[in-house]
Amino acid sequence: MKIALFATCIVDAMYPATAKATVAILERLGHEVVFPGGQACCGQMHVNSGYFKEAVPVIANHVAAFESDDYDVAVAPSGSCVASVKHQHPMIARSCGDRALEKRAAAVGAKTYELSELLVDVLGITDAGSQLGSWFPHRVTYHPSCHGMRLLRLGDRQQRLLNTVRGIDLIPLPEPDQCCGFGGTFSMKNADVSSAMLEDKAANITATGASLCSGGDASCLMHIGGGLSRQGSSIRTLHFAEILASTEQHPAQIAGEVQLLSGKAAQ
């Protein structure tokens, strides 16, 4: 299968390891990955902040970058960005009166998948350990991000994949369905409420005793990780793609001092 990678702007610029891991997983399964060079961003920051007019060129750019027939499906390691591509792009195009863009955006959205959705529903991955060789001997907890959970209805796909990684100790997170408080510009416009939400999320993560918190959205993980870092916590955040890509030969690179389950430091 020929798969077009939508890296998303935050992963492209801040978390390239997540995109590299996505590529590694898909290539390991024998698929061809392409990276449409015109891509930039899904535009949800603009849309969610009410700047629809400014969002239109961003959306139009994404649609132009991904409307080629030269690939079978597109994939992004982000529930939030895929939800934006699928739901917001046609909606904003329509509200700005561009029916042609609305149609093109809907066509792109129809062939765009979130990574776990692609792995489970299309590529039939049920056991990451045996089918992907995933190995990750760490104590991990997992936060399901809101947009993946509620807009894409990803259910427990990401968690199921993580559960089948060899060596992992996946600890359930209390109140997993509670938002971490990121919400894009919400974290700045309503910084106090956002911080209060983050505080509770961080406390729940800390209570698990895990050394890492995984998830499916780099933006939420940056938020959670930024909060944990500010608190002086040693708990790191890591996208689930990087855990799936991690093998004994090529273990995931984790910043900071993270204890292996065997007691050795990972780095």
How far is Cα 211 from Cα 193, in angstroms, rounded to an integer?
A: 26
- Torsion (CA) 160, 161, 162, 164 in degrees, nearest 10: 90
Residue 23 makes contact with another protein by CB under 8 A:
yes
Cβ distance to another protein smaller for residue 2 or 263: 2
Using the rule CB under 8 A, give the single segment among 46-54, 68-76, 107-115, 154-162 that binds another protein.
46-54
E strand spans, the chain = 2-5, 32-34, 73-76, 112-114, 139-143, 169-171, 212-215, 236-239
How many residues lie near another protein (CB under 8 A)? 93
Residue 249 makes contact with another protein by CB under 8 A:
yes
Number of Cβ atoms within 10 Å of the Cβ of 130: 11
For the CB of residue 140, give the shortest distance to another protein in the complex, in Å: 19
Footprint of another protein on 87-106 (CB under 8 A): 91, 95
From residue 176, alpha-carbon distances to 32, 117, 162, 173 in Å are 35, 19, 15, 5
Task: Look up residue 63 and give its amino acid.
Answer: V
Footprint of another protein on 148-207 (CB under 8 A): 149-151, 177-179, 181-199
Residue 46 makes contact with another protein by CB under 8 A:
yes
Using the rule CB under 8 A, give the single segment among 40-48, 67-75, 106-114, 208-216 that binds another protein.
40-48
Cβ distance to another protein smaller for residue 234 or 263: 234
Tell me which DSSP letter residue 265 carries. Answer: B
